[in-house]
Amino acid sequence: ADPCHEEGGAPRVCVPGLVNAALGREVLASSTCRQPPAQACDSSDPRRAHPATLLTLAGGTTSPVCWRSDWLTRAPLNVTLTVPLGKTFELVFVSLRFCSAPPSSVALLKSQDHGRSWVPLGFFSSRCGLDYGRPPAPASGPAGPGPEALCFPEPQPQPNGGGLLAFSVQDSSPPGLDLDSSPVLQDWVTATDIRIVLTRPAVPRDAGDAEAAVPYAYSATELQVGGRCKCNGHAARCLLDPQGHLVCDCRHGTEGPDCGRCKPFYCDRPWQRATAREAHACLACSCNGHARRCRFNMELYRLSGRRSGGVCLNCRHNTAGRHCHYCREGFYRDPGRAPSDRRACRACDCHPVGAAGKTCNQTTGQCPCKDGVTGLTCNRCAPGFQQSRSPVAPCVKTP
Amino acid sequence: EVMPTLDMALFDWTDYEDLKPEA
């Protein structure tokens, strides 16, 4: 079954499955315990190394299982974990399992431009105002009309000593907001990179003991970024291209890493994201098989009642017109052939002397004849006329 | 009545050299 088309062939919205977009991706940690070997951490010894790769390891079990930062003894105590997802995804959740006491403050950010700029998705803190200058998240969710970065309670320590950071985009979106119909929500869930800033360790520190050398290290595993490869409703899966980049397997006449534009010949109407109601497939231009390229014209699209705006370019086989649907000057439509036939347009072949011009009627093929001349190509004298010696008046009345 | 096609050889191009079609 084709998830992007009905059984009858009609296009329908299709989306890739929910995956852990961070799985196997390289995590950039601003701090990882390395040298000198201390406290069972030695980056040169696999049995005692705690690299950031352990956060997103694909398959298998390792020992150790947790990434660990360097010992942090003085401010700043920030440690940043950045995960480039490789392409745009539509986020559903982000989670991170801590192997030691979870931090008291964490900021979660996303980038939509491969790390050039960052915006917050949410905060987690026991001191939202102090740490992030925000009020705690209301229990009812965001008050505004759109999603917003709220400050949630800090990850709670669990009996085993660890803790779990869990963020769901649903928690920061007003109820009733629908991804299909809300461009704001579509923008909110779109991300190319995720960044987690571990801002404040669990160890209580206040101004008085900020310099106190109470060593602390962040330690975590299982960084998950739940989401769908973003294909705008025009692909059911993402694949690796020959260059090793993750790209959508675009359908519906679309192309691009996110199926974000119409293919070159599929520009009869503007690109749109597919919805459950309407697939908004890009339509091929109607050129009767005589052109390989076309362009979109908004004015024509509006005039057609938003049905068709494609204009064929470089009509071949002596055809012309927006859809290559009539013959170019000097040619006429052969009624015995289909409009898509390569020989649908025949040369007028007007007689060089008998015809008054080279352009014939595009439907009948009749050339314009001089006085007294007849025939489709004006190659004979009409009854009652005879050929003269003058090329200007080739037929004269019979005496 | 079907008239014969125009005979190009009968035309006198003396005064109309510029109109004469290429052979």
A100-128: string of b/e by CB count within 10 Å (b at 16+)? bbbbbbbbbbbbeeeeeebebbbbbbeeb
pLDDT tens for the 399 residues of chain A, in order: 899 999 999 999 999 999 999 999 999 999 888 765 556 677 777 777 888 888 998 766 666 788 999 888 777 789 999 999 999 999 999 999 999 889 999 999 999 999 999 999 999 998 999 999 999 998 888 888 889 999 999 999 888 888 999 999 988 998 888 899 999 999 999 999 999 999 988 865 554 454 455 678 899 999 999 999 999 999 999 999 999 999 999 999 999 999 999 999 999 999 999 999 999 999 999 999 999 999 999 999 999 999 999 999 999 999 999 999 999 999 999 989 999 999 999 999 999 999 999 999 999 999 999 999 999 999 999 999 999 999 999 999 998
Which positions in chain B touch A352 (Cβ < 8 Å)? 21
Q: Tell me the pairing of strands A67-68 and A219-229.
A: antiparallel
Asked whether the beta carbons of residue A389 and residue B12 sit closer than 8 angstroms, the reply is: yes
In terms of Cβ atoms closer than 10 Å to its own Cβ (0-12, 13-18, 19+), residue A373 is buried
Instruction: Nearest chain B residue to A354 by CA: give it.
Output: B6
A376 to chain B: nearest residue by CA?
B5
Return phi, psi of residue A197, to 5°: -105, 110
Residue A374 phi, psi (nearest 5): -140, 180
Whether residue A390 and residue B11 make contact (CB cut-off 8 A), yes or no, is: yes
Give the pLDDT of residue B22: 76
Q: Residues of B with CB below 8 A from A387's CB?
A: 4, 6-7, 10
Distance CA A13, CA A10 (A): 10
Structural contact between residues B5 and A380, judged by C-beta atoms closer than 8 angstroms: yes
DSSP-derived pairing of the beta strands A219-229 and A79-98:
antiparallel
Taking alpha carbons only, the member of A72, A398, A394, A391 closest to residue A218 is A72
CB contact under 8 A, A383 and B12: no
- All residues of chain A having their beta carbon less than 8 Å from the beta carbon of residue B3 are 374, 380-383, 385
Residues of chain B found within 8 Å of residue A373, distances taken between Cβ atoms: 6
pLDDT of residue A288: 96
Check: CB of residue A134 under 8 Å from CB of residue A180: no
Q: Determine, for residues B6 and A392 on separate chains, whether the beta-carbon distance falls below 8 Å.
A: no
Q: What is the pLDDT of residue A207?
A: 45
Taking contacts as CB-CB distances below 8 angstroms, the residues of chain B near A380 are 2-6
**Gap between the Cα atoms of A227 and A16, Å rounded:** 9
The reply to whether residue A391 touches residue B1, judged by beta carbons under 8 angstroms, is no
Task: Give me the percent of chain B exceeding a pLDDT of 70.
Answer: 91
Give A398 to chain B, closest Cα distance, Å. Answer: 13
pLDDT at A121: 96
Question: What one-character-per-residue DSSP string does A191-236 give?
Answer: EEEEEEEEEE-SS---GGGTTS---B--EEEEEEEEEEE--TTB-S
By DSSP bridging, strand A150-152 and strand A119-125 are parallel
Contact A175, A182 (CB under 8 A): no
**Residue A226 in contact with residue A85, Cβ under 8 Å?**
no
Which two structure tokens, joined as six digits, stand for A382? Answer: 């009409």
pLDDT at A211: 47
The average pLDDT across B2-21 equals 87
Assembly ipTM: 0.92
Compute the distance between CA of residue A281 and CA of residue A267 in angstroms, rounded to an integer. 10
Neighbours of A203 (CB within 10 A): 15
Q: Which amino acid is at A262?
A: C
For residue A55, give the DSSP letter: G
Q: Please say whether the dihedral angle defined by the alpha carbons of residues A295, A298, A301 and A306, taken in this order, is positive or negative.
A: positive
For residue A241, give Cα distances in angstroms to A16, A57, A246, A256, A361: 16, 22, 6, 11, 52
Q: Which of A373, A374, A389 to mutate to test the interface with B (most CBs of B within 10 A)?
A: A389
